[in-house]
Chains A and B, each alone.
Chain A
């Protein structure tokens, strides 16, 4: 026990000795030394607080207590219960935003440099004497005329703008007869002439004299696109309360169309049968692999391929002169023979004049027939949708109420079809617009793949794996 206390005492002694090291004496007769050695922290702190007070205006103690507190004189009940609907307030009402407060100078210290160069406020600009005179005048009610003028102009402008009608996209007021005198016409001399009735000479004349050229429609524009009516008469079976027969007829039509479509579908299914096989996913993947790696396997063993010896083809021998002459002679001979034959045939044809006549008549008949057929086809074509583009016209489905859907009253009528679709299809049918398949642009961005740091293996090889991971370089 004693030893322990003794030991402790010893320890204390030792530590005291260590702490109470003798301070180094420093000569303080120079400024530099003062700076290093003297402790001016408290002075600095005081000055700092003083500066802060200056920046903020006045120290807290000197300020009146009114500036810190507000006496709440209004009771809760006085406040309006219902708050006005929140609306977007303008920046002018709100004042500068809070986020910009940091940018404003917040020091209350007056600029010590009185003559610092800065942008003058409008009130400070100009000659102070002149300013004074102007102010006096304004106080008396005298305003220079140019100000008055400009104010008046401004007022007028504002009024005119308020009165100005909003520009319409298209014409909305129809206040003259387009097909009458006021319509599209020109004054030529003292005559009013409809622009479309002009002859070619008059057209050039107007161009020379008046500067506006008139173009007439080309004859191609008058070619009819169809023989169909714009609004086709409806099938009597489409009535909301049809007769039995009409309705059955229409139903049959729709049924026939439907069965035809179904048959077509069955047929395509049968034809494409072997192509539309069901394949399990695994097999599909295997196939994909085998397809994708088709060329790669060959690369590995190019050396194995044996170079097959291609049998050498001998180039053709050129004809000799003798051969050429002989060939030419033969050709001539052949031609002569043919000509002779032709002539002989001509001679013989005198005998069969009648049959020739018959042949001619037949061919003429045939052409006449063909012309007629073509004419008919052309007429029939006028009632069919033409092939105007890549896509074929697809007729809309037949609009028909099923037998159980007919209620017989206007109130219970179940509508079918859509007028706008009907119009759209009708225009396609009448070759006014081409059938189109709407193209939708889908932007497909490439996926960027990240691995999270926490999930990824640390980069660099571990010491032990250095040799294992090395892949053979190909």
Chain B
């Protein structure tokens, strides 16, 4: 008779305790090995079968994964380390200092190169997994020295992350920034891959309780990520012709210098992010032009892609020629990073950090970034602005008017650049503005004028505007065609295009197309439409709410009579995605 649990699901899984026994490791080492190798616990489809009839929930792994783990040479390193620790302990307790010193000199070390290569066979694979790596490394670099984490790991993280920031600055790869209450989100584009990083605010270290986070586990992750990030940095630096251990021009410090202070000073200068690095070869400028492929629906998309590329090009040299001075109360590192990765120049008070290039008294400074209500001595030659201006400029991909961001001014809201709306969603006016600016190259002022010109098309998005233009052009064309080559030349009559009729025709066409939908897809289509309608309704409700809120705020401001109404500026564009649904629908069908 066939025995139970000898085939299928039951043989696919192995419990953690069994795995420990098989690999002859303790739990601590096993977890470490799993993290380093990228082996994860799995949830079985049928737990009862996978656990051979037992019903309590156990942590399961694939048998094959564990078998693969058993071939890992790192296990022997773990064992070496165990023996080393045992010897150390004996020597320490005997007070045998000579042996302790000798043992310490021959402490076993591990290399994780082969694991990086194994988990990421190609460089692109590694880039795909960079989010986690960078976020953790950035966090570890800010840890205080007296935590449980080994101090050299913290300094290694700091070094690697600074190197990465230098790469982003050199490659001008920063795309989006968002300041949230948790930390600052950066989106960076490396070889076409978006990489999102979360970096904590530069505040004091917040200790966590043991029940929240297990530092030992996180340190294992960071161990692997440092190796990975080092190799990625090496490759990235060489891809843009930079010397890899980053070198500052003009300053020479030997690598094997014994003077620790000098090395530290040099490292600080590198961490200042304020000067470009030494290149290998004089860089040859490449102009990548988007290849044009003729495609059926491609024209519009191509256009869009082109516009996007142009906008990014603009973003890369957004702060070119601008000279910033950073106040002491502003988070220096993030601000310098943002300025420098958009080609600006920055300096600060030399008392807060090394590497300041010019003084506050420099007359050529164009912007001073200040985050306090007032400044005693102000220069007329420069704008005093709040740091949000920089971040908003990057998200909007253009230099915004500085008036809203003046010192002490009530700032406009900081909008997330990461939101993507679906059709029919409510889009707040600020966000609409951002979207429009990202897409096109119209300044808000210009747009205002446009609005005034054609108020009739007030509530239509840009895309529809384009279509309208096309529609407008069509009748003129037809006019030309209609001029027959008759015997007599009659005075032409202007035939007004039957807009209403055309619209109705369109609607009818649309209805027909709706009818043509296959039965198979009909239900899906209906549910989609239903959802969209509900979203539209919700959007309308929110819009009304917003209007009311603004009105109230205006009244309040009037009553308090303080400054101009901010919201008025933002409510230029009462566009919404609701109106262009009709056209979109047609496209879809």
* A→B interface (CB under 8 Å): 161, 164, 166-172, 174-180, 183-184, 194, 196, 213, 215, 217-221, 223, 225, 229-231, 233-236, 238-246, 386-390, 399-401, 408-411, 413-424, 427, 431-434, 436-438
Complex interface: chain B residues within 8 A of A438 (CB): 210-211, 214
B118 within 8 A of A: yes
In contact, B212 and A410 (Cβ under 8 angstroms): no
Complex interface: chain B residues within 8 A of A177 (CB): 231, 234-235, 238
In contact, A408 and B411 (Cβ under 8 angstroms): yes
Offer 5 A-B interface pairs, CB within 8 angstroms, sorted by A.
A183-B113, A196-B121, A218-B62, A240-B181, A420-B208
In the bound complex, what is the Cα–Cα distance between A213 and B372 (angstroms)? 64
Complex interface: chain B residues within 8 A of A170 (CB): 109-112, 153, 156, 223, 226-227
In contact, B64 and A246 (Cβ under 8 angstroms): no
Contact among B64, B107, B196, B415 for A233, CB-based, below 8 A: B196
Further pairs besides A220-B64, A231-B196, A438-B214: 6, Cβ < 8 Å: A171-B111, A179-B122, A409-B371, A409-B386, A433-B35, A433-B217
Complex interface: chain B residues within 8 A of A422 (CB): 182, 198
Contact among A168, A180, A183, A239 for B179, CB-based, below 8 A: A239
Contact among B107, B132, B200 for A419, CB-based, below 8 A: B200
A246-B428, A421-B208 known; A413+B65 contact, CB < 8 A: no
Complex interface: chain A residues within 8 A of B118 (CB): 184, 196, 217
- Shortest distance between the CB of A6 and any CB in chain B (Å): 86
| Residue with the highest number of chain B CB atoms closer than 10 Å, among A194, A231, A410, A419 | A410
6 pairs of A and B residues whose beta carbons are closest in the complex = A236-B416, A174-B230, A386-B43, A233-B418, A218-B64, A230-B131
In contact, B40 and A432 (Cβ under 8 angstroms): yes
Complex interface: chain A residues within 8 A of B549 (CB): 244
A177-B238, A221-B68, A413-B201 known; A183+B181 contact, CB < 8 A: no
In contact, B41 and A434 (Cβ under 8 angstroms): yes
A167-B107, A218-B68, A230-B131 known; A419+B419 contact, CB < 8 A: no
In the bound complex, what is the Cα–Cα distance between A172 and B57 (angstroms)? 41
B5 within 8 A of A: no
In contact, A234 and B68 (Cβ under 8 angstroms): no
Complex interface: chain A residues within 8 A of B413 (CB): 239, 241-244, 246
Contact among B57, B180, B198, B199 for A389, CB-based, below 8 A: B57
In the bound complex, what is the Cα–Cα distance between A101 and B473 (angstroms)? 114
Complex interface: chain A residues within 8 A of B226 (CB): 170-171
Contact among A179, A230, A386 for B123, CB-based, below 8 A: A179
Contact among B60, B105, B418 for A161, CB-based, below 8 A: B105
Complex interface: chain B residues within 8 A of A175 (CB): 234, 244
Mark B160-204 against chain A: 1 for CB-CB distance below 8 A, else 0.
Answer: 000000000000000000111111010000000000111111010
- Shortest distance between the CB of B270 and any CB in chain A (Å): 15
B329 within 8 A of A: yes
In contact, A229 and B131 (Cβ under 8 angstroms): yes
- Shortest distance between the CB of B74 and any CB in chain A (Å): 12
Complex interface: chain B residues within 8 A of A217 (CB): 68, 118
B241 within 8 A of A: no
Would you list which residues of chain B between 18 and 66 have a CB under 8 Å from chain A?
35, 38-43, 56-60, 62, 64-65
In the bound complex, what is the Cα–Cα distance between A409 and B386 (angstroms)? 8
In contact, B117 and A171 (Cβ under 8 angstroms): no
Complex interface: chain B residues within 8 A of A174 (CB): 230-231, 233-234, 244
Contact among B387, B410, B416 for A246, CB-based, below 8 A: B416
Would you list which residues of chain B between 366 and 391 have a CB under 8 Å from chain A?
371-372, 386-388
B263 within 8 A of A: no
In the bound complex, what is the Cα–Cα distance between A203 and B165 (angstroms)? 40
- Shortest distance between the CB of B573 and any CB in chain A (Å): 14
Complex interface: chain A residues within 8 A of B353 (CB): none
A178-B116, A179-B117, A246-B416 known; A419+B182 contact, CB < 8 A: yes
B493 within 8 A of A: no
A231-B197, A388-B43, A389-B57 known; A419+B65 contact, CB < 8 A: no
In contact, A220 and B65 (Cβ under 8 angstroms): yes
Task: Name the residue of chain A whose CB is nearest to the CB of B430.
Answer: A243
In contact, B428 and A231 (Cβ under 8 angstroms): no
A408-B411, A418-B208, A424-B213 known; A389+B58 contact, CB < 8 A: yes
In the bound complex, what is the Cα–Cα distance between A184 and B115 (angstroms)? 10
In contact, A178 and B235 (Cβ under 8 angstroms): yes
A170-B111, A434-B59 known; A239+B415 contact, CB < 8 A: yes
In contact, A245 and B411 (Cβ under 8 angstroms): no
B406 within 8 A of A: no
B67 within 8 A of A: yes
B324 within 8 A of A: no
Would you list which residues of chain B between 79 and 112 have a CB under 8 Å from chain A?
105-112
Complex interface: chain A residues within 8 A of B152 (CB): 168-169, 172
B240 within 8 A of A: no
Complex interface: chain B residues within 8 A of A423 (CB): 132, 135-136, 139, 218
Would you list which residues of chain B between 534 and 565 have a CB under 8 Å from chain A?
542, 545-546, 549
A220-B64, A230-B132 known; A169+B153 contact, CB < 8 A: yes
Task: Name the residue of chain A whose CB is nearest to the CB of B156.
Answer: A172
A409-B371, A420-B213 known; A241+B132 contact, CB < 8 A: no
Complex interface: chain B residues within 8 A of A421 (CB): 208, 212-213
A179-B117, A184-B114, A196-B117 known; A171+B227 contact, CB < 8 A: yes
